[in-house]
């Protein structure tokens, strides 16, 4: 007989990260540790958290699956709010050229770079894209990710962008992880596109975006705003079209040059601005005023040997900071949550508590879902992790290694080590 729900009984610690909207600035430190706590999940939804006797009073315990969690730590599931999970082919050769010391210009001249992924994604069969994506989701799940965002942007034409977004939707239909789709048509200007940047942005804004909306293939619209790629003027045209069509907005902003992408994200009420390696103080202030989540992607900075984003300045400046992988075939082929935790705590000046908030509640906020997921609060989805070890302090301490033993999505165990 099917049980009514699940009880995680008397964990050494339950870390709730309690809240229904992003935690900003000093709030990121407040993660709500309940020693000896238990969690009750009814069906797909968290129904209680706290003392075992209190939350199970009046229940017939034989109706529930009970997980004894002594010696373990329970946290919300991780939210990876920035990935490029669907793409054709790989660029391992190019990564090795990079390790050898070849410059990006040399690599481009040899046919590498994003355009190679575009060619391979255009050529890839739909089912092959989905199959590769499902394998990547399995790997993310083992690191404790329960919700993941996936972007298009390796098509750069209507047909392939739609193929990528349909494949993204198929991932969510076929895999226990929840998948949020983002349209990133303006990821690069195709080499052969007549009229260049402005003509391409008009094509995206006028011909592609409306079809993506009509087919309901993406919740968010995103753009790679960067010097010599999509400057502020063209970005503005695209963002205006996206806003008018009712897309929620994300931006790749201020990654390589301090262009003012963060300020533009604030002006357009973006849900998140991502990368931000070169964000200005003015950009941080504007993001705070307009409640834009700062999504930092340390694996990309690590892989490119770039300086990390100024997480400390952002948190001290009152921002809500999220952390995500940026998993993609070029600059960052990694979905490693343990490596993010190591980098954020060792090299970005973030505390273990801020890091946990950034990977859970603030990641959920970066997907406009902080009212549904990202914390252990009654009424939220039962997305939970059980970690090896009796304290959350072990999560950064055991660096580079996943402490996740059990992954629960909507009240169901989907992975157990
Ligand atoms: Zn990205």
Residues 61, 124 within the same domain: no
**What is the structure's pLDDT at 412?**
97
Q: Which of 56, 50, 58 is nearest to 11 (CA)?
A: 50
Residue 351, CA distances (Å) to 43, 49, 160, 342 in order: 34, 25, 41, 11
Distance 272 CA to ligand 1 centre (A): 12
> Separation of 88 CA from ligand 1 center, angstroms?
16
Q: Are residues 102 and 226 in the same domain?
A: yes
Same domain, 256 and 338: yes
Residues listed for the chain: 417
Partners of 335 in beta bridges: none
Q: How many domains does the chain have?
A: 2
**297 lies in the same domain as 400:** no
Range of the domain at 382: 5-78+374-416
Strand intervals (E) in 218-349: 220-221, 248-253, 272-275, 293-296, 321-323
The CATH number of the domain where 14 resides is what?
2.30.40.10
Residue 148 has pLDDT above 70, yes or no: yes
pLDDT of 126 reads 98
For CA atoms 13, 19, 21, 24, the dihedral sign is negative
CA of 84 to the centre of ligand 1 (A): 6
Give me the residues paired with residue 3 across strands: none
Residue 157's CATH number: 3.20.20.140
The pLDDT score that the predictor gives to residue 192 is 85
Query: Which positions ≥6 away from 284 have C-beta within 8 Å?
Result: 262, 294, 313, 314, 317, 319
Rounded to an integer, the average pLDDT of 115-139 is 97
Model confidence over 8-24: pLDDT tens digits?
Answer: 999 999 999 999 999 99
For residues 275 and 314, what is the distance between their CA atoms, to the nearest angstrom? 12
Q: Are 78 and 359 in contact (CB under 8 A)?
A: yes
Question: How far is ligand 1, taken at its centre, from the CA of residue 300, in Å?
Answer: 9
pLDDT tens for 102-125 read 988 888 888 889 999 999 999 999
Q: Which two tokens stand for residue 394?
A: 């072990």
47 with 25: CB under 8 angstroms? no
Quote the DSSP letter at residue 101.
T
Is residue 83 domain-shared with residue 69, that is, in the same domain? no
Residue 1: the pLDDT is 58
Q: Using the mean position of ligand 1's atoms as its centre, give its distance from the Cα of residue 7 in Å.
A: 37
Looking at residue 108, what is its pLDDT? Answer: 83
Mean pLDDT of the residues in the chain: 97
Between the CA of 374 and the centroid of ligand 1 the distance, in Å, is 21
Beta carbons within 10 angstroms of residue 158's beta carbon:
16
Question: How many A from CA of 223 to the centre of ligand 1?
Answer: 9
Q: Are residues 393 and 290 in the same domain?
A: no
Q: List the end-to-end C-alpha distance of the chain, in Å, as a whole number.
A: 25
The share of the chain scoring above pLDDT 90, in percent, equals 97
- The Å distance, Cα 186 to ligand 1 centre, comes to 12
Residue-wise pLDDT tens digits, 305-361: 999 999 999 999 999 999 999 999 999 999 999 999 999 999 999 999 999 999 999
Do both 128 and 184 map to the same domain?
yes
Residues 172 and 269 in one domain: yes
| Pair 43, 98 in one domain | no
> Quick one: average pLDDT of 177-197?
96
* Residue 155 confidence (pLDDT): 97
Do 412 and 356 fall within a single domain? no
CA–CA separation, 320 and 26 (whole Å): 9
Cα-to-centroid distance, 234 and ligand 1 (Å): 19
Residues 318 and 335 in one domain: yes
- 98 and 71, same structural domain? no
- CA of 175 from ligand 1 middle (Å) equals 22
Ligand 1 mean position to 141 CA, how many Å? 20
Please report, for residues 6, 383, 384, 412, the alpha-carbon distance to residue 43 in angstroms, rounded to integers and kept in the order given.
Answer: 8, 12, 13, 8
- Gap between the Cα atoms of 321 and 275, Å rounded: 11
pLDDT tens-digit profile of 238-294?
999 999 999 999 999 999 999 999 999 999 999 999 999 999 999 999 999 999 999
């Amino acid at each position: 007989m099917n049980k009514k729900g699940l009880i995680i009984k008397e964990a050494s610690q339950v870390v709730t990260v309690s809240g229904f909207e992003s935690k900003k600035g000093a709030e990121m430190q407040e993660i709500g540790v309940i020693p000896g706590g238990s969690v009750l999940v009814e069906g797909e939804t968290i129904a209680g958290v706290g003392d075992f006797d209190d939350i199970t009073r009046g229940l017939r315990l034989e109706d529930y699956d009970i997980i004894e969690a002594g010696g373990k730590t329970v946290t919300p599931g991780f939210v990876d709010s920035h990935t490029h999970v669907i793409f054709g082919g790989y660029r391992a050769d190019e990564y090795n050229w990079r390790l050898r010391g070849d410059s990006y210009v040399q690599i481009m001249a040899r046919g590498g770079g994003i355009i190679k992924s575009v060619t391979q994604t255009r050529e890839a069969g739909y089912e092959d894209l989905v199959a590769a994506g499902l394998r990547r989701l399995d790997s993310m799940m083992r690191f404790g990710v329960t919700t993941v965002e996936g972007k298009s942007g390796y098509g750069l034409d209507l047909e392939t962008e739609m193929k990528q977004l349909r494949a993204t939707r198929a991932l969510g239909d076929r895999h226990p992880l929840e998948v949020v789709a983002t349209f990133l048509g303006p990821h690069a200007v195709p080499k052969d596109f007549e009229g260049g940047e402005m003509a391409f942005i008009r094509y995206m804004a006028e011909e592609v975006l409306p079809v993506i909306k009509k087919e309901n293939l993406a919740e968010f619209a995103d753009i790679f705003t960067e010097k010599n790629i999509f400057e502020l003027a063209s970005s503005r045209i695209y963002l205006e079209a996206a806003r008018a069509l009712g897309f929620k907005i994300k931006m790749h902003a201020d990654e390589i040059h301090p262009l003012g992408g963060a300020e533009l994200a604030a002006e357009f009420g973006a849900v998140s601005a991502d990368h931000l390696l070169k964000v200005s103080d003015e950009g941080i202030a504007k993001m705070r005023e307009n409640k834009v989540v700062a999504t930092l992607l340390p694996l990309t900075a690590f892989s490119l040997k770039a300086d990390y984003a100024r997480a400390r300045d952002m948190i001290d400046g009152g921002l809500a900071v999220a952390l995500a992988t940026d998993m993609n075939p070029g600059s960052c082929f990694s979905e490693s949550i343990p490596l993010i935790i190591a980098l954020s705590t060792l090299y970005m000046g973030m505390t273990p508590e801020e890091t946990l908030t950034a990977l859970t509640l603030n990641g959920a906020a970066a997907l406009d879902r902080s009212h549904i997921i990202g914390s252990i609060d009654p009424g939220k989805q039962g997305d939970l992790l059980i970690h090896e070890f009796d304290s959350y302090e072990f999560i950064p301490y055991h660096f580079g290694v996943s402490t996740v033993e059990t992954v629960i999505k909507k009240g169901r165990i989907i992975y157990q080590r």
